[in-house]
Amino acid sequence: MRLTAVLAALVLSHHPPEGATDRHCEANARKIVHRFYPLRHCQRSNRTVIGFINVQSVRECADYARDKQGLAFNFAPVKRNNTNWYDVVREREQNQSTVSSWKPAPPRVASFGFEDFYNCHVLDCPEYRNLSTIVNDTRFDYYTLYARLLPASNATCIPSIGMFLFDDTKLNYSNAYNVCVSAGGSLAHIASDARTFQLSKYIASLPEMNYTTNNSTDTTSAIEPLYYVGLNETVKNRFFTSADERLDCFRFRAWAPGHPAYV
Ligand SMILES: *[C@@H]1O[C@H](CO)[C@@H](O)[C@H](O)[C@H]1NC(C)=O
Ligand SMILES: *[C@@H]1O[C@H](CO)[C@@H](O)[C@H](O)[C@H]1NC(C)=O
Ligand SMILES: *[C@@H]1O[C@H](CO)[C@@H](O)[C@H](O)[C@H]1NC(C)=O
Ligand SMILES: *[C@@H]1O[C@H](CO)[C@@H](O)[C@H](O)[C@H]1NC(C)=O
Ligand SMILES: *[C@@H]1O[C@H](CO)[C@@H](O)[C@H](O)[C@H]1NC(C)=O
Ligand SMILES: *[C@@H]1O[C@H](CO)[C@@H](O)[C@H](O)[C@H]1NC(C)=O
Ligand SMILES: *[C@@H]1O[C@H](CO)[C@@H](O)[C@H](O)[C@H]1NC(C)=O
Ligand SMILES: *[C@@H]1O[C@H](CO)[C@@H](O)[C@H](O)[C@H]1NC(C)=O
Ligand SMILES: *[C@@H]1O[C@H](CO)[C@@H](O)[C@H](O)[C@H]1NC(C)=O
Ligand SMILES: *[C@@H]1O[C@H](CO)[C@@H](O)[C@H](O)[C@H]1NC(C)=O
Ligand SMILES: *[C@@H]1O[C@H](CO)[C@@H](O)[C@H](O)[C@H]1NC(C)=O
């Protein structure tokens, strides 16, 4: 028996090729610009902020997010009233209940967050399908790389790298490729040190699977797990990443001489 695992990245978030050596590579680098989509109006995400800045336009905020390897961002348009109306309403309600019960007004605690000082917050992970960390805030809009297809709740975010789904069904490469595409993604892009390191860590963190059959007499059954990654040998001896970039445009090398090889 052979147990095969497939690793899929829903959307890629990667650096431009480091070793851009020829025109092909430059074209690769230009082709891929990750787009952020507005997903929520008058709301912001409360996920981990990895950078904040004050900018004039949403475009500047998106550029900053790409620069910081963010997967989403909150942006407060400069022209919008810089009062969070949800706070005002809440305060009003509190005032009313305080007055009606004849209690002295509670001392106002000024608790400022960076949302009060910066209008562009870059997030290392997007909201998942249930939007569990979205916060009502009329000052902000929320933008994400993952709007057209919200990641499934069983997807895992690897901060600043991307969203991943691990599938442990036994498949051949073509089927694995198609499963990932129909899930709205692609086989995992691994052509960088950070991606390889983080994905290896992620796989190692998965619950232990039974890679060997319970039959010590059958040695052929004890085969190491096989994981598919996003490299296609589209042209003989020339590999392409799942974003259709030439692998030889990447300086990253984490394989033995003569590899990668098609299996
Ligand atoms: C937002 O996050 C902060 C810190 O992580 C937490 O204290 C706060 O309760 C969160 N707010 C909401 C509305 O989830
Ligand atoms: C924002 O709202 C406050 C409260 O109603 C108001 O006083 C202020 O003038 C508004 N500012 C702008 C720029 O509209
Ligand atoms: C709530 O009460 C405080 C003091 O009693 C006042 O300063 C504040 O403006 C009130 N807020 C609203 C929204 O009415
Ligand atoms: C945001 O506000 C709406 C009403 O405008 C409310 O139904 C919803 O529960 C609020 N969400 C959060 C996360 O506070
Ligand atoms: C929303 O999703 C997160 C993680 O995907 C999960 O921890 C949380 O329990 C979910 N919340 C609801 C209300 O389903
Ligand atoms: C993730 O969950 C969806 C349904 O929410 C399911 O169809 C899919 O098979 C799951 N994928 C994995 C890899 O568990
Ligand atoms: C992959 O498996 C499917 C059936 O599971 C089969 O039809 C297809 O020919 C296989 N592809 C390759 C390249 O082996
Ligand atoms: C990559 O491989 C898959 C599966 O064999 C195939 O369907 C797809 O067309 C290939 N992509 C390219 C760009 O050749
Ligand atoms: C691995 O095998 C053991 C016994 O053979 C079984 O109890 C366990 O549930 C299996 N684990 C998985 C993840 O399939
Ligand atoms: C392996 O199989 C034997 C019987 O065939 C059984 O007694 C034993 O519990 C199995 N071990 C595991 C780990 O499943
Ligand atoms: C163990 O392997 C032997 C030889 O390959 C085979 O005859 C036997 O049926 C296997 N037993 C199990 C439980 O898979």
Q: Report pLDDT digits (tens) over 185-194.
A: 889 988 888 8
Query: How many residues in total does the chain contain?
Result: 263
- 189-214 pLDDT, tens digit per residue, is 888 888 989 998 998 888 766 555 55
Choose the residue to mutate in 174, 177, 178 for probing ligand 7, maximizing ligand atoms within 8 Å of C-beta. Answer: 174
pLDDT at 233: 85
How far away, in angstroms, is 154 Cα from ligand 6 center?
A: 6
CA distances from 10 to 55, 132, 165, 247 (A): 29, 20, 7, 20
Domain spans, the chain: 33-89+114-148, 166-211+224-262
CB of 4 within 8 A of CB of 169?
Answer: yes
Q: Superfamily for 166-211+224-262?
A: Mannose-Binding Protein A, subunit A (3.10.100.10)
DSSP 148: S
Global pTM?
0.75
Which of the four pLDDT bands, split at 50, 70 and 90, describes residue 154?
A: confident
Q: Which atom of ligand 9 is nearest to the CA of 207?
A: 13
Does residue 4 have a pLDDT over 70?
no
User: Is 81 close to ligand 2, i.e. is its CB under 6 Å away?
Assistant: yes
* Cis status of the peptide bond prior to 260, with omega within 30 of 0: yes
Residue 73: its H or E element? strand 72-75
Q: What's the topology of domain 33-89+114-148?
A: Hepatocyte Growth Factor (3.50.4)
